[in-house]
Amino acid sequence: MLREIKCSCQAAADKPAFYTQLGAAPSEDEILNIIQIRTGYSKEQIELKEIIHTHNKGINSDGCPRANCIIRRSGDQEKVLALFRKRPGHVCHFSHLIVSLVVWDGISKEKSNELRSFLMLTLPYEATPLDRGCGKNKKKSCMCQGFICAISGKSYAIGCQRDWRRDRCKFCRSKHVDKYGLSNTEHGKQLANYIHNLLSEELSPLMNKTAPDAYYNMCLTEASSTDCRLGQVENLTVPDLSSSDGPLSPVEGQTFSQLIPTGKCNTCLTEASSMDCRQCPVESLSVPLLSSSNSQFSSIEGEPFSQLEPLYNQLPPVTGRPFTGAAIPMDFSTHLHKDVNNIKNGCTAVVTLTNDVGNDNASDEQFHVLPCYKLNTQGSSTTGGVALALTHGSVLFEVARLETHASTALRYPNVYNPTRISMVFYQHRGLVGQQHGSDKYLRRSAQKKYIKYIIELSNGNSCKEANGS
């Protein structure tokens, strides 16, 4: 189990879920400081938007996602957009949580254009589309993917996925593993190279800088599951957390400043299955250091909260491949859902590729929607549906496992000339074990055969005793 973060605030249980892997702070200013420290951008280049959770979801009469408030990039000067929410009743260090992070220039234009062209010319012709449950409304009556089946919006998948019925990788018993599923083998190799270059050169370094907690958590188990990761093995570095010295948390009376000279952080480590846990120094502080009499919580033992962020650099370095697979919707509208198969304490990275680099004046545009949130500037409106107009080459980080999300429908979807291609990179839980978990499968199979043999042997002896008597 993961260690619970406690505070002295008298507040009800969190709705929606509580998580900190994208970032948490005691105030809006501190969130801005954290993003500045991570990215190196100035305050003028970072846009913060406060969102509020609401029970009235942003959907139309058919139950399909609807954009009620659209957030666009203000200009080339804006580099990062962060959506955050306040936790009602909390005044502690974790009272403000980052829900979504958008890096507008996350992927270079050259690589974005090249990748979009390759995907557009291969996937519709050589890959098999998925029949996703989130592609229709509950009544299965909507036409969000288009009226013409031959060119309707479709979704494809690459990499390893969790077989939720058997709780293992879908390639566990496969003799030939093809993660990319293209009928043309040469094109499959090219796609593998494109994905490797995208992850190793741009997306993984960007995630390590922008969402370091989630990146750290998702790379910790790579050594035991190298076959299920996207990309090629390069300079894998995973720290040996079992050798860390000292207690898991400071003893009572130990100050924050006494933790700094050691150059180490306190890590929650309970069992092998919880190796995806990374705790920053704030989370490992004992409760007496959080004074409930201070309503601002602007410092811990005299240290400004924003100074905690550089301490991420004092963690044992970790580099690796955080993702096991990717969904690739092409003009495909996803209805309200959560990615419940994703790893805990991780996040998804959504790379957007559009046919219009500016996309501000596009007549037909698809939006990424958070249907359970509204902007705090919407006043008395109680209907959710905060939408992001993601531009060409932008990267969105969000905790899709815990947050309901969707994408709006296009009026004229065309999979052969898509308005928008999304590459949703994720890490599925349960994908642990070499050779896609076949060692675990063989061990379980041997145990079942042995138990069956013992039962048959016992029944045979019982029959002999009955016949002898």
Q: Are residues 119 and 225 in the same domain?
A: yes
Nearest-5° angle of CA 14, CA 15, CA 20?
60
Distances (CA, A) of 295 to 15, 89, 290, 291, 309: 22, 11, 10, 9, 21
- Quick one: pLDDT band at residue 226, thresholds 50, 70, 90? confident
The two tokens of residue 163 are 């077989």
Q: At residue 178, does pLDDT exceed 90?
A: no
Mean pLDDT (the chain, rounded): 79
Residues in contact with 297: Cβ distance below 8 Å, sequence separation at least 6, in sequence order: 26, 91, 92, 93, 95, 290, 291, 305
Measured distance CA(295)–CA(1) in Å, rounded: 31
Q: Are residues 342 and 417 in the same domain?
A: yes
DSSP string, 40-95: ---GGGEEEEEEEE-SB-SB-TTS-B--SEEE----TT--EEEEEEE-TT--STTS
Q: Are residues 411 and 438 in the same domain?
A: no
pLDDT score of 311:
42
Measured distance CA(105)–CA(79) in Å, rounded: 7
For 395-451, how does the pLDDT look when each residue is reduced to its tens digit (9 = 90+)? 999 999 999 999 999 999 999 999 999 999 999 887 877 777 666 767 777 878 878
- Quick one: pLDDT band at residue 171, thresholds 50, 70, 90? confident
DSSP string, 178-235: -SS--SSHHHHHHHHHHHHHHIIIIIHHHHHHHSHHHHHHHHTTGGG-GGGSSS---S
Span of 206-210, 306-310, 429-433 with lowest mean pLDDT: 306-310
Q: Are residues 51 and 109 in the same domain?
A: yes
The two tokens of residue 156 are 């494809």
User: Is residue 169 a part of any domain in this protein?
Assistant: no
Span of 174-188, 347-361, 417-431 with lowest mean pLDDT: 347-361
Measured distance CA(178)–CA(168) in Å, rounded: 16
For 33-56, how does the pLDDT look when each residue is reduced to its tens digit (9 = 90+)? 999 999 999 999 999 999 999 989
Q: Are residues 339 and 442 in the same domain?
A: no
Q: Are residues 306 and 437 in the same domain?
A: no
How many other β-carbons are positioned within 10 Å of the β-carbon of residue 128? 12
pLDDT score of 237:
53
pLDDT score of 265:
35
Q: At residue 146, does pLDDT exceed 90?
A: yes
Q: At residue 365, what are phi and psi to the nearest 5 degrees?
A: -135, 145
Q: Are residues 441 and 400 in the same domain?
A: no
What residues make up the domain containing 424?
1-164+174-432
Per DSSP, 3 falls in state: P
| Cβ-contact 107, 395 below 8 angstroms | yes
User: Is residue 369 a part of any domain in this protein?
Assistant: yes
Highest mean pLDDT among 7-11, 158-162, 398-402: 398-402
pLDDT score of 434:
73
Q: At residue 57, does pLDDT exceed 80?
A: yes
Count: domains in the chain: 2
Q: Are residues 417 and 441 in the same domain?
A: no
The alpha carbon of residue 225 and the mean position of all alpha carbons in its chain are separated, in whole angstroms, by 18
User: Is residue 441 a part of any domain in this protein?
Assistant: yes
Residue among 319, 330, 385 nearest 53 (CA): 385
Q: Are residues 258 and 351 in the same domain?
A: yes
Q: Are residues 324 and 445 in the same domain?
A: no
The two tokens of residue 399 are 């905790």
Q: At residue 278, does pLDDT exceed 60?
A: no
Q: Are residues 367 and 463 in the same domain?
A: no
